[in-house]
Chains A and B, each alone.
Chain A
Amino acid sequence: MIFPIVRTALIALRRDRGALALSFILPIGFFTIFAVIFGGRHDTTPKVSLLVVDEDHSATSQSLIRGLEREGSLSVARRPAPKQGVEQPEYTAATAEAAVKAGTAPVTLIVPHGFGENPISFGAPNPNQPTIQLLKDSSDMIAPQVIAGLLQKVAMTSMPDVMTEQGSKYMDKYAGGFTPEQKKRIDAGLEALRQRESAESGGQQTAPADPNRGMPIAVTTRDVVGENKNNPMVSFYAAAIGVMFLLFTASGAGGSLLDEAESGTLDRVLSSRVTMGTLMAGKLCYCVLLAFSQLVVMFVWAWLVFKLDFLPHIPGFVVMGLSTAFAVGAFGMLLASICRTRAQLGPLSTLVILLMSSIGGSMFPRFLMPEAMQKAGLLTINAWAIDGFTKVFWRDEPISHLWPQVLVLLGVGVVLFAIARRLARRWEYS
């Protein structure tokens, strides 16, 4: 009895082209996309962008910066990219901070005046040692830590002369001549170190540890973006999760076209004064309205429950919300127009939306992804929408700065809707 059941199912599958495509062609398509993006690449670890400001202009500071530039995992910039072929001036502390706030890079490193005089220290903190500043965007939780660690490594490896000179000074200071008095001081110093180690290994937590203790280069870190936010990551997740569900909602809403086509209601509607263009425009408006309402609910919830700073950002939210809803609505219409039946729409929309959401940053932030993946993410509605909402809620940027995201989302919406309209011609006449 099992054989006829299998046979019947196989025959049904063979005659359902949509199901066949979903079963065999779509997986190959997905595999191909990822293979093309990552195929033959071994440097898939994301590079961390770092802006550098050299206020010292000493040989030591230059040596340190060159060391950072040689690091394969860093993408170091001393000045903005040329504009219309004209080279831009080097970053200052102010322009670099502004660039971090604008999202150009997650971290700026400022080498202060006097760094070359007293670049590193061993053991106890040296109050005379100039402190390197890291200005960071706390939405990127990884980059500042990577840079802080690499900075110490580069200090060790890229400045051997400085290390030797400083070591001699320390030897001269702490062990010169090894007189009884000097020996006593060294012993005392060692004892103090031992006591500190013992306390740490015993798990005693007294006060927050000094992040620079034991590090040759003194570093202070400061948030320049989102430092005053009540709940910094909520806006990101509201946008990221919101856009993903918007795509599902729009796909479902667009699918009403298929329901109407299957029931014959579409034919009846099109035999009235309503044309296919009017019908599609109406459906798009419905999708946009639904998607925008969903975003409003999502962000109001985030405001009420998670203290998202919503009210001051309402104008930016409306601009981004409507642009996103338009693109997403057109996407829903396109999916519905591509599919022949509701049964096809379900799995296809799930697969496409999950793919878009994963590479577009709805599931985890794009800055954690390999560079190729980050670029591929720009092909998705999710990435542009999330970037726009981040500008509004995270970076507090004015509406005028949203134009790239708005332009892309509206453009995508227009193109997708035009394709959907073209595909919908099959419903117009037999």
Chain B
Amino acid sequence: MASTPVVSSPTSLLPLRIEGLVKRFGELTAVDGITLELKSGECLGLLGPNGAGKSTLIRSIVGRVIPDAGTASVFGDPADSAGARAALGWVPQELALYPKLTCRENLESFGQFHGLRGAALKTAVEWCLDWAALTDRAQEPVKNLSGGMKRRLNMAAGLIHRPQVILMDEPTVGVDPQARNRIFEMIEKLRSEGVSMIYTTHYMEEAERLCDRIAIIDHGRIIALGTKDELVRNAFASRSEVLARFENADDSVAAWVKQRGGIYENGMAQFTIEHATEIAGLLDAATKAGHDLADISLRKPNLESVFLHLTGRELRD
């Protein structure tokens, strides 16, 4: 096994600081004044539905998008400076690899693009192959790899220069659960080495498992930021969620749910209650209103509930 590279000690400056970032594409405001700080050794999740502006924010940080307003700095350097480029590692959502080159050749190329040469390059390539569990497929052309292997190599290629700050843009898109778990293990290993990371996803469970703090992003704005517990507490305090499905999901049900202070989305009603005893009253009121319940459950709120609570929409809409 290759030796574990040493991650440079972060300076006293914040690994990443974003202030008032705005990016518009014509009429569409993809990023709408986002301010964010990434602490040293932290994994910050950007949780939001497709089109929320997560990727645009990431691309602004790596200098692939010029913001209309605001700044992003990496350890105090402007994001598009040479210093920031050296400190930043980007894992794009796309499989940004050379399909006809082997795994090793891909890593060597991207290492050279980052200025690595000789022994340093060789060490970095070996580390990446080992980290991505691709050592035995090193000579395999990328086009012959499975989807999960390509994803892992895609991640490794973004880390070849051993950056201190890593931006991962939905690295598990399109992979099966088994391959996803393997990716989680890779990320957890990185975390144990103390790198700082921004991780974008629209999978609540990924954010819950991997991230210290989570920023919920929607329509280009951060609508909530904190640890998972903080987010839930801020949205629900000590309340619980009641999820109810009705036999006849029609407009009258939706109107009744709204009248009772609930949220009706995709045939499912969501109510928040202080105590479990309130469920009986809810059932009674539904019966009196002539709406037959098909199913009812009580659950502790999670990030999905928070998102629904804050936006009125489900995370995967």
Contact = CB atoms under 8 A, between A and B. Distances in A.
A270 B96 contact: no
A273 interface: yes
Nearest to A272: B113
Interface string B176-214: 000000000000000000000000000000000000000
Contact of B110 (A264, A268, A429, A430): A268
Contact of A271 (B85, B93, B95, B98): B85
Contact of A273 (B25, B92, B99, B113): B113
B90 interface: yes
Given A429-B65, A429-B66, A430-B59, A271 B90 contact: yes
A269 B92 contact: no
Nearest to B30: A430
Contacts of B98: 265
A268 B89 CA distance: 10
Contacts of B76: none
Bin chain B's interface residue count. 20 to 34
Given A272-B113, A273-B115, A430-B59, A267 B85 contact: no
A263 B96 CA distance: 6
Interface string B89-113: 0101111111100000000001001
Interface in B146-181: 157-158, 161
B62 interface: yes
Interface in A243-276: 263-265, 267-274
B300 to A, nearest CB: 39
B115 to A, nearest CB: 5
B59 A268 contact: no
Contact of A263 (B82, B94, B113): B94
Given A269-B113, A272-B110, A264 B66 contact: no
Nearest to A270: B64
Given A273-B85, A429-B64, A264 B94 contact: yes
B96 A430 contact: no
Given A273-B115, A430-B65, A268 B157 contact: yes
Contacts of A273: 82, 85-86, 113-115
B262 interface: no
B114 A272 contact: yes
Given A273-B82, A273-B85, A265 B63 contact: no
Bin chain A's interface residue count. 10 to 19
Contacts of A274: 113
Contacts of A270: 63-64
Contacts of B114: 272-273
A274 B63 CA distance: 12
B110 A267 contact: no
Contacts of B93: 264
Interface of A: 263-265, 267-274, 429-430
Nearest to B97: A265
A271 B157 CA distance: 12
Nearest to B66: A429
A268 B115 contact: no
A268 to B, nearest CB: 4
22 contacts: A263-B95, A263-B97, A263-B99, A264-B95, A265-B96, A265-B97, A267-B94, A268-B158, A269-B110, A270-B63, A270-B64, A271-B62, A271-B63, A271-B64, A272-B114, A273-B82, A273-B86, A274-B113, A429-B66, A430-B59, A430-B64, A430-B66
The 8 residue pairs across chains A and B that have the minimum distance between CB atoms: A264-B94, A272-B113, A264-B96, A268-B96, A265-B96, A271-B62, A430-B65, A429-B66
Contacts of B94: 263-264, 267
Nearest to B64: A267
A267 B94 CA distance: 10
Nearest to B89: A271
Nearest to A427: B64
A273 B87 CA distance: 11
Given A267-B59, A268-B110, 11 more contacts: A263-B94, A263-B95, A263-B97, A264-B95, A267-B94, A267-B96, A268-B157, A273-B115, A429-B64, A430-B59, A430-B65
Interface string B27-43: 00000000000000000
Nearest to B111: A272
Contacts of B113: 269, 272-274
Given A273-B114, A429-B64, A430-B66, A267 B92 contact: yes
Given A429-B65, A430-B65, A272 B85 contact: yes
A429 B25 CA distance: 12
Contacts of B158: 268
With most chain B CB atoms within 10 A of its CB, the pick from A271, A273, A274 is A271
A88 B64 CA distance: 63
A342 B82 CA distance: 32
Nearest to A266: B96
A264 B95 CA distance: 7
Contacts of B62: 271
A272 B82 CA distance: 9
Contacts of B86: 273
B54 to A, nearest CB: 15
Contacts of A271: 62-64, 85, 88, 90
A132 B85 CA distance: 78
A266 to B, nearest CB: 8
With most chain B CB atoms within 10 A of its CB, the pick from A268, A270, A429 is A268
A153 to B, nearest CB: 64
Nearest to A264: B94
A59 B55 CA distance: 89
